[in-house]
Structure 1
Amino acid sequence: MDDAFQAASLTASQPASQPASQPAPLTLADATDRFDDPLPSQSVHFAVPPMRTLTWRVKASATLRVQAAQVWITRARSPYDHWLQPGETLRLERGERIWLSTETALPARVSITSAWQPPFAGVRRCMERLAAWLALLTLRRSREA
């Protein structure tokens, strides 16, 4: 629904005793727009030396961006290789292993950006998994009894 049409329909349906200067009620779209601010992120910038291969284990879902020179990227469980030019990006998933290389004479600059994680987020995630596993084990044993 168009915002102007919605505002016009709201003022037209108001009773005559209500003043027209009252602001229109907030819609769901207005409320969700407030939470669309980007979360803090962390970036790791590094150079890929010429004619060498680096490996990287992705700790959190991230975006790889090539800053300078063409980069060759191989993913552990993918049959495809990726050649990224400067300015191009590639989405990486948590737990994925990648290999980076360049065939140019100059080092390639690369950055990996992911959402910031609070300290001990990994420990908290492990504890949640352990609690879920224990709950499942308890449920299975109670069904067997």
Structure 2
Amino acid sequence: MDDALQAASRTAQASSEAVTEATCRPASPPPCAPTAHFGNEAGASDDPLPTQSVHFAVPPARTLTWRVNAPATLRIHAAQVWVTRARSPYDHWLQPGETLRLERGERIWLSTEAALPARVTITSAWRPPFASVRRGVERVAAWLALLILRRSPEA
């Protein structure tokens, strides 16, 4: 009877070690996993959108300007960065690791007073080339279809 109890104990211990090992091991993301999510992050069933990131350095004692074409996130990686937004009375001093949400059409100016260049990343949702043109053509086609339907006599 003791042999059966010891065997059951060993089986339970082995299975608990396997569960502990599986739950404590960090999951590695798939190689093509996007770095950021946009849209409704509360929904677990939503597929994440692909993103595009632009990495660049802000040289010391220089000011760079950037016009944001899509909603984006500005992330600072090295050195403190001074961010000025158009149409905003406030300036932002961002430390490494901090982020700032940027809206579409916004213009920003970036500079640093550090001795070394500041590394910055701007990440936004990826849009296929000519997506806005395609969307405009679809709208015009829908408008023309409605116009034709309204003018056609009903028989």
Task: Name the TM-score, length of structure 2 as normaliser.
Answer: 0.60
* Structure 2: 5+ residue stretches without partners: 1-42, 148-155
Q: What residue number does 2:45 align with?
A: 34
SS of 1:111's partner is strand
Root mean square deviation, CA, Å: 2.0
- Counting aligned pairs with the same residue, the percent is 79
**Over 6 Å off, 4+ runs:** none
Q: Does residue 1:98 correspond to 2:123, yes or no? A: no
What's 2:8 paired with?
none
Amino acid of the structure 1 residue aligned with 2:116:
L
| CA displacement 1:83-121 (0-9 Å, x = unmatched) | 000000000000000000001110000000001111211
Alpha-carbon distance in structure 2 between the residues aligned to 1:54 and 1:119: 25
**Aligned counterpart for 1:122 among listed residues 110, 126, 132:** 132
The whole-number CA distance in structure 2 between the counterparts of 1:111 and 1:82 is 16
Q: Which amino acid aligns with 1:46?
A: F
TM-score (normalizing by structure 1): 0.64
Query: Structure 1: which 5+ residue stretches go unaligned?
Result: 1-31, 139-145
Give the C-alpha shift of residue 128 in structure 1: 5.5
